Amino acid sequence: MKVLCVIPARFGSTRLPGKPLAMMAGKTVIQRVYEQAALARIPDQVVVATDDQRIADAVEQFGGTAVMTSQDHPSGTDRLAEVALSYEDVDVIVNVQGDEPMIPPQVIDDLAQAFADNDGLEMATIKTEMQPEDFQNPNAVKVVTDENGYALYFSRSLIPYPRHDLPEVKVYKHVGIYAYRRDFLLKFAALLPTPLERVEGLEQLRALENGVKIKVLTSDFQGVGIDTPEDLHKANEIFTQLEAEKAKAAEEAAKAEEGKE
């Protein structure tokens, strides 16, 4: 099974223009995402799909691979499908959002492995337990699944509605990382938008409305998506602290080696 990891990256962003090239503790956001994705063991290759030459140049400058795509795509899935057309030998494509610099490599591997374990699987994604402060936040997408881990519904509204307080029933947040079997991705991108998809503004509902089963894996990944200047500031603080901790650990390791001599 050959796996390709694709990171869609647009320069135009309403709330944070030029987001992929914003600096985060000395590196661009897109470089941070790329380096995390490259740590995954299962994917054979990682590429950035972009419609902007500035992003492509930045990716190639740090040693990554960029694929230029059309500027006319209405969604990230369409951009992903264009890339898939150029990789005919790929079996599974994992779509990592270009604004998730903390995506754990293990999440990417888990999604890819789900396809190796299930020949009939066409689409998979991730959920994580939602914090109460996000219950009424329409930007935090909720998901409910059946007992076999397949999606029943995704919504910007709170689901399930807590009419009865059952502590064993949790609210789950959908994490926007997807994996597709390549052949299915091409078919999915060709489908017309569906009513529920349009009313919720959630593309994955197009799959459910067409009878496609979406496997939803559980993770403890919370992440800090970069959507606003405030998000960028918060992520900068986190990465600056992480870099300082790495530098300290390297310094202590070097001193320990000197002590052995």
- What is the share, in percent, of the chain residues with pLDDT greater than 70? 97
Q: Judge if pTM exceeds 0.85.
A: yes
Number of domains in the chain: 1
pLDDT band at 86 (very low <50, low <70, confident <90, very high): very high
CATH classification of the domain holding 62: 3.90.550.10
pLDDT 10s digits, 175-226: 989 999 999 999 999 999 999 999 999 999 999 999 999 999 999 998 767 7
Q: What is the span of the domain harbouring residue 231?
A: 3-260
pLDDT 10s digits, 30-81: 999 999 999 999 999 999 999 999 999 999 999 999 999 998 887 878 889 9
CB 232 within 8 A of CB 16: yes
pLDDT 10s digits, 18-30: 889 999 888 999 9
